[in-house]
């Protein structure tokens, strides 16, 4: 799936991400996210209004005067709802007050104007401190994937739950066992003691097309077996630091839909409804589902071993914008720019360096930098991957054996390349070599100290005190090297700087 860009919460305008589990009271205002699945009070369901069913075929306007009217056939949602709805379940959880408050009552400053609003949902026996106190109830959705009672849902639905109850559409209820959860992908697997249960067929999310009809079944606000429909708005969405390439839809998903299936017009599950963007805590046209291809990988690991392993490459990456593309002589601003390489990690052993731009992994294009973490994290430790890397104006092939993401990273390698400015007016930097005592104190073996930044460099965000390590992927230790590299550059240069303990690339336009 092609990544269509990274979505970020615009908290300044009150837009924030919320996990769509049932029972959330109120919503998110400003930068406050009301998320997760537990609720401290019941919510009255919204009033229901009668509406006429949509016709099976809608006449389309004539293409030209006098031309016969065409018809557009709509999918038969009634068949899908009646068949697949039998395998969709309602999930109720019971957890202690300490667990519940972590999910839906934010810890905010008592001086905040919304403090009293959120405080009303806390159990008075909690007293603002520790202890589990009275139980709190939450809810979500899920769906049966095998006749012997294996159920898929979201990890945040059952997070910290002491007791999980599954209610089938035929009104039978079962105590469920949590076989395992994976917070990184927000997938959980449950098991109930039952046989010959209805199941939903699995589809392939990688074949989804933007504009395709889909529908969701779940229990928004506790209204069981609710069906909503819409279209696929985008695929491969990256949300914040999540490794999941989400499916974005305009299907109405609300608190309580979490863990429910997203279904295509062939009646196949192609996603698990997981998150929404909202100013109020309710649906506002942006819903996100975990691709079923991802969820099945996680489910198979949990069923087999009870846990999930994620792979790692051992690099930090940045987005490749137009300025970086110009600096590295790339035809298009695509790929993942390596800023740091973990010492002794898989990337370093494979020969990756800071300043490399990863363009493909096993033949799959890396368009945005967020494509790389999702491909790597959803692989297994020990897998070998082929990396197509842009280095010094040409493509090179590197092979890496992936490590285990659960292992603690070692200190980032200091031998990576960096971007360095020069003393010329084109960059607006005043530079000097690192003194021996500065090298010892900082741990930086070589580089140039920025004593002053003005002009293009200052506009780009370079600051006095930064240490500049390389220009366009070429390590620099003298002003002459910087002048030479800047003279050869065209529109911009990519500077790798060290600021405190962080290394970041900064593109500086000079043309």
Q: Per the residue annotation, which of 36, 141, 182, 186 is the catalytic one?
A: 186
44 bridge partner residues: none
Is position 203 annotated in a ligand binding site? Answer: no
- Distance CA(300)–CA(400), nearest Å, equals 25
Q: Please write down the long-range contacts of 130-134, taking CB distance under 8 Å and 24 or more positions apart.
A: 130/98, 131/97, 131/98, 132/96, 132/97, 132/98, 132/99, 133/96, 133/97, 133/98, 134/97
Q: Is 156 a catalytic residue?
A: yes
End-to-end Cα separation, the chain, in angstroms:
35
Half-sphere exposure of 191 (CA within 13 A, CB side): 11
- Distance CA(72)–CA(266), nearest Å, equals 17
- Distance CA(296)–CA(146), nearest Å, equals 12
- Closest residue by Cα to residue 482 from 406, 404, 429, 440: 429
Q: Per the residue annotation, which of 258, 274, 287, 492 is the catalytic one?
A: 258
Q: Please write down the long-range contacts of 224-233, taking CB distance under 8 Å and 24 or more positions apart.
A: 224/90, 224/167, 224/169, 225/85, 225/88, 225/169, 226/257, 227/77, 227/81, 227/85, 228/252, 228/253, 229/77, 230/287, 232/208, 233/286
- Distance CA(363)–CA(376), nearest Å, equals 13
Q: Per the residue annotation, which of 36, 141, 156, 416 is the catalytic one?
A: 156
Is position 128 annotated in a ligand binding site? Answer: no
- How would you write 355-390 as a 3-class SS string? CCEEEEECCEECCCCCHHHHHHHCCCCCCEEEEEEE
- Distance CA(196)–CA(452), nearest Å, equals 73
Cα Rg for the chain, rounded, in angstroms?
26
Q: Tokens 């600051």 sit at which residue?
A: 463
Is position 310 annotated in a ligand binding site? Answer: no
User: The tokens of 452 are what?
Assistant: 């002053």
- Distance CA(189)–CA(146), nearest Å, equals 11
- Distance CA(436)–CA(270), nearest Å, equals 59
Answer whether 132's CB lies under 8 Å from 75's CB: no
Dihedral of CA 45/49/53/59: which sign?
negative
Is position 154 annotated in a ligand binding site? Answer: no
* Binding-site residue set for substrate: 156, 186, 256-258
Detail the residues annotated as belonging to a binding site: 156, 186, 256-258
User: What is the set of active-site residues?
Assistant: 156, 186, 258
């Amino acid at each position: 799936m092609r990544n269509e860009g990274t979505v970020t919460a615009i908290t300044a305008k009150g837009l924030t991400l919320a996990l769509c589990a049932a029972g959330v009271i109120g919503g998110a205002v400003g930068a406050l996210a009301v998320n997760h699945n537990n609720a401290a009070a019941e919510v009255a369901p919204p009033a229901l209004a009668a509406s006429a069913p949509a016709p099976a075929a809608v006449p389309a306007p004539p293409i030209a005067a006098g031309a016969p009217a065409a018809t557009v056939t709509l999918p038969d949602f009634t068949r899908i709802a009646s068949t697949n709805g039998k395998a969709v379940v309602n999930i109720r959880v019971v957890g202690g007050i300490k667990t519940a408050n972590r999910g839906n009552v934010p810890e905010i400053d008592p001086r905040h104007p919304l403090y009293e609003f959120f405080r009303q949902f806390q159990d008075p026996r909690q007293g603002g401190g520790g202890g589990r106190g009275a139980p709190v109830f939450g809810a979500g959705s899920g769906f049966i994937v095998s006749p012997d009672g294996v159920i898929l849902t979201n990890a945040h639905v059952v997070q910290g739950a002491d007791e999980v109850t599954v209610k089938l559409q035929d009104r039978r209820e079962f105590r469920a066992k949590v076989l395992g959860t994976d917070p990184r992908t927000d997938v959980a697997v449950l098991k109930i003691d039952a046989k010959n249960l209805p199941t939903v067929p699995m589809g392939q999310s990688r074949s989804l097309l933007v504009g395709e009809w889909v529908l969701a079944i779940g229990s928004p606000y506790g209204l069981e077996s609710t069906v909503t429909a819409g279209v696929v708005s985008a695929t491969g969405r990256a949300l914040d630091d999540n490794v999941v390439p989400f499916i974005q839809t305009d299907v109405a998903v609300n608190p309580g839909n979490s863990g429910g299936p997203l279904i295509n017009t062939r009646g196949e599950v192609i996603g698990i409804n997981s998150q929404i963007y909202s100013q109020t805590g309710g649906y506002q046209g942006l819903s996100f589902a975990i691709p079923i291809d991802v969820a099945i990988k996680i489910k198979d690991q949990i069923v087999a071993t009870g846990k999930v392993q994620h792979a790692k490459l051992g690099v930090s990456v940045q987005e490749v914008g137009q300025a970086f593309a110009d600096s590295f002589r790339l035809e298009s601003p695509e790929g993942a720019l390596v800023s740091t390489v973990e010492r002794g990690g898989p990337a370093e052993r494979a020969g990756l360096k800071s300043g490399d731009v990863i363009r493909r992994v096993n033949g799959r294009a890396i368009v945005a930098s967020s494509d790389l973490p999702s491909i790597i994290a959803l692989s297994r430790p020990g897998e070998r991957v082929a990396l197509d890397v842009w280095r010094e104006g040409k493509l090179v092939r590197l092979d890496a054996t992936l490590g285990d993401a659960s292992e603690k990273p070692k200190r980032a390698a200091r031998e990576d390349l960096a971007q360095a400015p020069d003393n010329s007016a084109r960059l607006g930097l005043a530079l000097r070599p690192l003194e021996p005592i500065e090298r010892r104190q900082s741990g930086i073996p070589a580089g140039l100290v920025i004593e002053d930044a003005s002009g293009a460099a200052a506009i780009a965000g370079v600051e006095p005190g930064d240490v500049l390590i390389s220009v366009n992927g070429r390590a620099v230790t003298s002003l002459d090297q910087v002048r030479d590299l800047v003279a050869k550059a065209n529109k911009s240069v990519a500077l790798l700087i060290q600021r405190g303990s962080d290394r970041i690339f900064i593109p500086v336009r000079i043309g």
